Chains A and B, each alone.
Chain A
Amino acid sequence: MKGTRQLDSPWLHPRAAYVHIPFCLQHCSYCDFAVVAGRDERIDEYLDALGCELRGLQEPHPVATLFVGGGTPTHLNCVQLERLLDLLATWLPLEPGHEYTVEANPETLTDDRIALLASHAVTRLSLGAQSFSARVLTALTRSHHAADIRRSVTRARERIDTVSLDLIFGVPGTTLADWRQDLDETLSLGIGHVSTYGLTYEKGTLLWKQKRDGQVHALDEQTELTMYEHSMDRLQSAGFEHYEISSFARPGRRCRHNQVYWANHAYLGFGLGAARYVNGTREVNTRDLATYLDRCRSGRSPTMQSETLSPLDRARETLTVQLRRAEGIERMSFHAQTGFDLDELAGATIRRLVELALLADNGISVRLTRRGKCVADSLTLEFLK
């Protein structure tokens, strides 16, 4: 029966949902997310529109994982935040044993906001800390201080199960010593999850322009590499598992929601610029606030792009995202999910990359080696050639 099959297939039927809140205090120099800075007067309208979009579900859609990202969801004032959380509780009810993540910036995490989140069954806080160094925070045009991080982590941990810190390395002008310091500070907080991101220069951002105009200079490859390797060494020796290219967790603290992405499973998405992947079709909402508000309020879909991949392209895509995981690509489940035999699809490439010690293959699954992780994007290209 088709219906049951869908329920059985997490790559077709979503049990995960993402909700985007685009508002921020200011637009950070490196950020290319769908962000709206300095337009707080639109927040209420936005929540109205989001409500309209959710109503499109027609009936509540239970989820196992819910992720509210941004922007800065905690930039909303308490009244607005509560409205948001209530709205989500209505349309995206949580299954037993759920995971509920909200992204937050340290300076916004007041006690009352933390209380609000906790009372709405939020289980995870993902904190945009980025760095403890005042110099780096300035370079990234962030509006918080190291003290905000320490305070918000301490306060949040009293009420919320898991706290994760986002960190950025490879910022122009930094050294390995700076990065060591950031990791040490992070570990001293005793949290269960860390994400480390190498700074990228996304087209159109302020930082990209500065680099193009020669005002900032990207770090050299060797330094970036050393920093990334140091993250692996330092966090693993502190008891973290390196379970995805940029994610580290203590046992039992992995982010289940993000693992949905890396399995190439289905998920729902709501809000400005949000993506969803349902029944083999990928869709992305408009990134333009006015269009989003207008479409939703007039009962139309805010979807801007929709794409259904061929089975072969879907299999290739699955291969490339699953490769990011520590457990890699597991042959049996890959076949079940995509209908393709991994070795028929990519056997020769796998063998070649195993020879170069960039992949490890134990016959059951194929995984990145430590060196492979450092050049994961190049490996992806090898598979797409």
Chain B
Amino acid sequence: MSRLALRPDARHVGLSHDARRCKKNMTTPNELIRNFSIIAHIDHGKSTLADQFLLKTGTITAREFQNQMLDAMDLERERGITIRMHPVTIYHQYQGKTYELNLIDTPGHVDFSYEVSRSLAACEGCILLVDSFQGVQAQTVANAYLAMEHDLTIVPVLNKIDLPIARPDVVIAEMEQALAITPAEVLRASGKAGIGIEEVLAAIIERIPAPKGSADDPLRALVYNSHFDTYKGVVVYVCVKEGTLRKGQRIRLLRDGTEHDVIEIGRFRPGMTPCEELAAGQVGYVMAQIKTLGDVHIGDTVTDALRPAAEALPGYKEPKAMVFSGLYPVNNQDFETLREALGKLRLNDASFTYMPENSEGLGFGFRCGFLGMLHREIIQQRLERHSSLDLVQTAPNVTYEILTRKGEILVIDNPQKVPDPGQIEEFREPFVRISFLLPSENIGDLMQLCTERRGIYLRTEYLSPARAILAYELPLAEVIYDLYDKLKSVTHGYGTMDYELIGYRPADLVRLDILVAGKRVDALSTIVHRVFADRRGRKLVKKLRGEIDRHLFAIAIQAAIGSRVIARETIAPIKKNVTAKCYGGDITRKRKLWAKQAAGKKRMKQVGQVEIPQEAFLAVLETDQ
């Protein structure tokens, strides 16, 4: 979602002559349209290059300009990264003609690669940026492959050539080696210094094919994104493949067959700018008084209700949540408020899932699925920011599969759901194929790291004598928590990684339970490999002993597998806590002090008689290694 898009006045941003043209409703013929995305590894300069496009084409004026203009979400600006895709329409004069360029800026972080694949489905080509100092990185390779799968034309651009430390020849050689890119095709640019922008724009027009499809065919528009506008309801991002979408038209969403009247259509310039129609090849948005995002599925096809198309467009694979964790309101009364907040968030992020769940210890909450740890962190931050809820989040886990003795397959997205060991025929965990791109000198250290994490070595490929791609298969559970951090420390920041799920494999897994004061706290259970269970259990109870405050009674903390206790620690009770004096003047002071302490306790989760702070639920993850 872009905050710009939500701002009612945003539509006035950059109303240049092109925008007026759009209002006059002159449909651009296909051969003057180019649809493309900018893809790259994280931080290689996609958003900065997009800024240059906006400036150079007069879409925005220098006065309106701010860095990474399209990164409008507050979290994006704070973190300096792109989280959501950002479409924008620009007009560019080239050899006497005005071209309509629909560009989509995409995120580089691995958690958001689904945004990249969605964007690519709305395009005929893409710009592949490579940082001329850092060279080819894991997401460079992954995103380039995605583009190839979509049969897109790739315009390779060596970016940041203004850097004094740029190594253009080495990096171009890497691009050739890793992606079979012809060195002669590679353009050189700097988004920051504004170098080579004209050349890149020219290459977009010259090399990327115009969209096909006729404005007169029955309407088929691909829904490639959506966001929720508090005032206008659901805003649907579409790429019109065939036919024409008009204001006032009655449309049908093919998947569920729901029908709606179009009240506004427009383009992102970058603010939402209304126009009369969008014809085949064009990209923009539709608003049709759709109240719930449930009615809109990403990848769905919009057609004309009166003249429907026969077949839906191919659509997308639903992004799959990789990481799950429980989210609970500290106060049980806040459950409904939390449900509402989650619903609102989901309006703008269909890749995140939530299901009500019930934990003995934590009461009513939700099991949420995320694309990765960064995604999880961002969702939590957005929730806390937009609602004033106090939340407890349990340690993340991946999804397991269990084949029962009866031959059923259970999908386990929560350790609580693991059945008795007696019923388990086979316990399976998700594996990923992972590629690391790293300096050759760190290969040994990384291999050791992967071996400790039950990795299966696949191969090494050298991009140059100094840099290599190392491929492994690893259990996802060993990847998500902190492998990235470990990789960074082993490679002094120079290593990157990318992974994809390859399937489930049997493993010797057990559920490690934690008992606090004799009661199993289901939210503290984890699934671990049997070989590591004892060590994990010991570390975990020790850690928990430090996290839980002393109480008025002794608290036993135990780790157990089934009924076998493998580790135990005791939190001694408070023996003395009494202030000596309490005379007239002390009463107010004490009452205030106590009120403060009591408020602190309210933020904890009461499990039986024991108050457990939020940190304890995350301790499970910190003791991972």
Contact = CB atoms under 8 A, between A and B. Distances in A.
Given A317-B591, A320-B591, A377 B609 contact: no
Interface stretch (A50-58, A151-159, A222-230): A222-230
Interface string A310-348: 000100010011001000000000000000000000000
Interface residues of B, number: 25
Interface string A46-68: 00000000000000000000000
Interface stretch (A135-143, A269-277, A289-297): A269-277
A385 B576 contact: no
Contacts of B575: 221-222, 225, 374-375
Interface stretch (B178-186, B213-221, B355-363, B578-586): B578-586
A197 to B, nearest CB: 4
Interface of B: 552-553, 574-585, 587-588, 590-591, 594-595, 597-598, 601-602, 609
CB-based closest 4 A-B pairs:
A197-B580, A275-B585, A384-B598, A225-B576
Nearest to A309: B591
Contacts of A264: 587
Given A225-B576, A375-B576, A274 B553 contact: no
A261 B587 contact: yes
B585 A376 contact: no
Interface in A1-32: 18
Nearest to B588: A282
Nearest to A262: B582
A356 B554 CA distance: 11
A200 B579 contact: yes
Contact of A376 (B577, B583, B598, B601): B577
A200, A273, A374, A380 — most chain B CB neighbours (10 Å): A380
B581 A384 contact: no
A344 B353 CA distance: 42
24 contacts: A197-B581, A221-B576, A222-B575, A245-B580, A246-B580, A261-B583, A267-B584, A269-B585, A274-B584, A274-B585, A275-B588, A277-B584, A277-B587, A282-B588, A284-B585, A284-B588, A305-B588, A317-B587, A374-B576, A375-B575, A377-B594, A378-B577, A381-B594, A385-B602
Contact of A356 (B552, B601, B602): B552
A269 B585 CA distance: 9
A378 B580 contact: no
Most chain A CB atoms below 10 A, which of B580, B584, B602 = B584
B578 A377 contact: yes
Nearest to B595: A384
B268 to A, nearest CB: 51
B595 A200 contact: no
Given A221-B575, A374-B575, 8 more contacts: A197-B581, A228-B576, A324-B582, A352-B609, A356-B553, A373-B578, A377-B577, A381-B598
B584 to A, nearest CB: 5
Interface of A: 18, 196-198, 200, 221-222, 224-225, 228, 245-246, 258, 261-262, 264, 267, 269, 273-277, 282, 284, 305, 307, 313, 317, 320-321, 324, 352-353, 356, 358, 373-382, 384-385
B132 to A, nearest CB: 53
A200 B581 CA distance: 10
Nearest to A34: B585
B598 A18 contact: no
A320 B585 CA distance: 15
A228 B583 contact: no
A335 B609 CA distance: 29
Contacts of B591: 313, 317, 320
Contact of A378 (B574, B582, B588, B602): B574
A196 B578 contact: no
Given A356-B552, A381-B601, A385-B601, A275 B578 contact: no
B600 to A, nearest CB: 9
B332 to A, nearest CB: 15
Nearest to B573: A375
Contact of A246 (B581, B590, B595): B581
A248 B30 CA distance: 97
B582 to A, nearest CB: 6
Contacts of B578: 198, 228, 245, 373-377
B265 to A, nearest CB: 56
B584 A261 contact: yes
B588 A320 contact: no
A117 to B, nearest CB: 21
A267 B586 CA distance: 13
Given A198-B580, A222-B575, A378 B585 contact: no
A282 B609 CA distance: 35
Nearest to B591: A317
A261 B552 CA distance: 27
Given A261-B587, A378-B577, A384 B594 contact: yes
A254 to B, nearest CB: 15
A218 to B, nearest CB: 12
Nearest to A223: B576
Contacts of A200: 579-580
A273 to B, nearest CB: 7
Given A305-B588, A321-B587, A356-B552, A381 B580 contact: no
Nearest to A353: B552
A385 B331 CA distance: 13
Nearest to B602: A385
Nearest to A282: B588
A166 B579 CA distance: 15
Contacts of A358: 552
Contacts of A376: 577-579
Contacts of A313: 591
Given A221-B575, A381-B594, A381-B597, A273 B585 contact: yes
